[in-house]
Amino acid sequence: MRQDTRLSRLLHVLLHMAETDAPLTSERIAAMLGSNPVVVRRIMAGLREGGFVAAERGHGGGWRLARPLEAMTLLDVYRSLDEPELFAFGLSNPAPDCLVERAVNGVLGAEVAAARESLLARFADIRLSDVRQDVALGRDRP
Amino acid sequence: MRQDTRLSRLLHVLLHMAETDAPLTSERIAAMLGSNPVVVRRIMAGLREGGFVAAERGHGGGWRLARPLEAMTLLDVYRSLDEPELFAFGLSNPAPDCLVERAVNGVLGAEVAAARESLLARFADIRLSDVRQDVALGRDRP
DNA sequence: AATCAAGTTACCTAAGAAGTTACGAATGAA
DNA sequence: TTCATTCGTAACTTCTTAGGTAACTTGATT
């Protein structure tokens, strides 16, 4: 299954936005991402609604950070995307009559829930300023 | 994104197979899953190649367990599917020139790798006999 | 031989991220 | 005012992969 790359792209964009005070247009962001302006506006919409970035229209407009990177976590960015599904696998039938299938759902569902909780807890702990620090250190594999 | 339900379905099938010594046809399994025989044969192929189940053709044929549930873990079943992607999200560009994107990949990639490792370790610890135990106890949420 | 069932190939369907086109709305410069 | 710029949206297409379906082959039993 093709993977959702929106989280990865948003992090990339936000870190670039922190490099300058001037607003970045969707056009320029799209060039950075190898994408196009409409896709950029689409994935940025949630961040705007969440107050993490601000967009201005017209001449000299574009996107600007509305908060410092210290005040944004990976979880914030994930949530701004409307918390899309994290896992590529899931239950075949969420509410079966079959007792066997209910037991399978119980085990698998519990593991997924635990993995999700633990991953989101990590996301909540990682600030974008931490990632910026990795850029400065030239880290691409921590 | 639509989720992959093969793991969930295989567990369901295997536990039903353990309830009887008689071989189960793909047709009957498909009825249990609300699917069809070709899909069943497709998802069972890996288990057959891995020696976890055996298939016999012709009259009185069908699928039978080749090992007790005590000797099969969730990880075995997952691997029999060729280890499909676990996560619904991923890196936009796995090998970018951009230093910012490399840092993003580093952080996100490390979190995914850790989550994957931890989830598969759990899968390795859970035997199908443990799930059967949950059926007996009527557990659908551990 | 006839029947049953797995094995396999080929093609279709569904769902969602991503790409594209087109247009509207707001803003600032000439 | 007029016009270029830029975001905001809607509508449509494209791509990918699990899943569904049909048709056929292979092998075993009666």
What part of A 76-135 touches B (C-beta under 8 Å)? Answer: 84-93, 98-111, 114-115, 118-119, 122-123, 126, 130-132, 134-135
B94 vs A66, higher pLDDT: A66
Contacts with B71 (C-beta within 8 Å, 6 or more apart), sequence order: B127
Residue the block writes with tokens 């995307």: A81
Q: What is the pLDDT of residue B139?
A: 83
Average pLDDT score over residue span A110-139: 96
CATH code for the domain of A79: 1.10.10.10
Q: Is residue A113 part of a domain?
A: no
Average pLDDT score over residue span B93-109: 95
Q: Is residue B142 part of a domain?
A: no
Q: What is the pLDDT of residue A142?
A: 62
For residue A61, what are its two tokens? 């407009």
Q: Is residue B89 part of a domain?
A: yes
Average pLDDT score over residue span A107-136: 97
- Domain carrying residue B23: 6-137
Q: Is residue B27 part of a domain?
A: yes
Q: What is the DSSP letter of A127?
A: B
Q: Which nucleotides of D are covered by protein (CB under 7 A)?
A: 4-11, 15-23, 26-30
Q: What percent of chain B has pLDDT over 70?
A: 99
- Mean model confidence pLDDT for chain A: 96
Q: Is residue A102 part of a domain?
A: no
Residue B38 has pLDDT above 80, yes or no: yes
Residue B100 has pLDDT above 90, yes or no: yes
Dihedral of CA atoms B138, B75, B81, A120 in degrees, nearest 10, equals 80
Q: What is the pLDDT of residue B142?
A: 62
State the best of A7, A24, A69, A101 to mutate against chain B, taking most chain B CBs within 10 Å. A101
Q: Do A102 and B4 touch (CB under 8 A)?
A: no
Q: Do A108 and B132 touch (CB under 8 A)?
A: no
Closest CA to B109 of B84, B79, B89: B89
d(CA B95, CA B98): 9
Domain count, chain A: 1
> Is A5 near chain B, with CB under 8 Å?
yes
Give the dihedral sign, CA B83/B88/B90/B92: positive
What's the pLDDT tens digit per position in A22-44?
999 999 999 999 999 999 999 99
Please give the distance of CA A119 from its chain centroid, rounded to a whole number. Answer: 13
Q: Is residue A112 part of a domain?
A: no
> Is A140 near chain B, with CB under 8 Å?
yes
Q: Is residue A48 part of a domain?
A: yes
